[in-house]
A and B are shown apart, each in its own frame.
Chain A
Amino acid sequence: MNLSAAVEHSPILPLWQEIVVGSVAFAVLCFVLMKFVFPRMEETFKARVDAIEGGLKRAEEAQSEANKLLEQYRAQLAEARTDAAKIRDDARADAEEIRQEIQVRAREESDRIIAAGREQLNAERQQIVRELRAEVGTLAVDLAGRIVGESLADEARQRGTVDRFLSELESTGSR
Chain B
Amino acid sequence: MIGQAVALKSDVPFPPEVGDFYLPSIVPWGGLDSLWFTKITALVWVSTAIIIIFFTLAYRKPKLVPGKAQWIAESTYGFVRNNIAIEMLGARGVRFAPYLATLLLFIVFNNMWSIVPVAQISPNSHIAFPAFLALISYVLFNYVGIKKFGFRKYMRNSLIPPAPWFVLPILIPIEFFSTFLVRPFSLAVRLFANMFAGHMLLLVFTLGGFAMLQANTALAPISVLSWLMTIALTLLELLVIFLQAYVFTVLTASYIQGAVSEEH
Interface residues of chain A, those whose CB is within 8 Å of chain B, are 1-19, 21-23, 25-26, 28-30, 32-34, 36-45, 47-48, 51
Contacts and interface: CB of A to CB of B under 8 A. Distances in A.
A46 to B, nearest CB: 11
20 contacts: A1-B13, A1-B19, A3-B24, A4-B23, A5-B22, A7-B33, A11-B18, A11-B126, A18-B123, A22-B132, A25-B44, A25-B48, A29-B51, A30-B102, A33-B101, A36-B56, A36-B59, A37-B59, A38-B102, A40-B59
Given A12-B192, A26-B106, 17 more contacts: A2-B13, A2-B23, A4-B33, A10-B18, A11-B18, A14-B127, A22-B44, A26-B102, A26-B132, A29-B105, A33-B51, A33-B55, A33-B102, A36-B59, A37-B55, A41-B73, A44-B64
**Most chain B Cβ neighbours within 10 Å, of A8, A12, A51:** A12
Interface string B39-59: 011001100100110011001
B123 A22 contact: yes
A11 B118 CA distance: 22
Interface string B183-213: 0000001001000100000000000000000
Q: Chain B interface secondary structure, helix, strand, loop or mixed?
A: helix
B97 A38 contact: yes
The 9 closest A-B pairs by CB, nearest first: A18-B128, A14-B128, A38-B98, A5-B19, A17-B35, A3-B24, A34-B98, A25-B48, A21-B41
Q: How large is the interface on B (under 10, 10 to 19, 20 to 34, 35 or more residues)?
A: 35 or more
Interface in B155-201: 189, 192, 196
A4 B19 contact: yes
A53 B41 CA distance: 47
Contacts, number: 138
A6 B123 contact: no
B132 A44 contact: no
A3 to B, nearest CB: 4
A51 to B, nearest CB: 6
Nearest to A10: B18
Contacts of A30: 99, 102
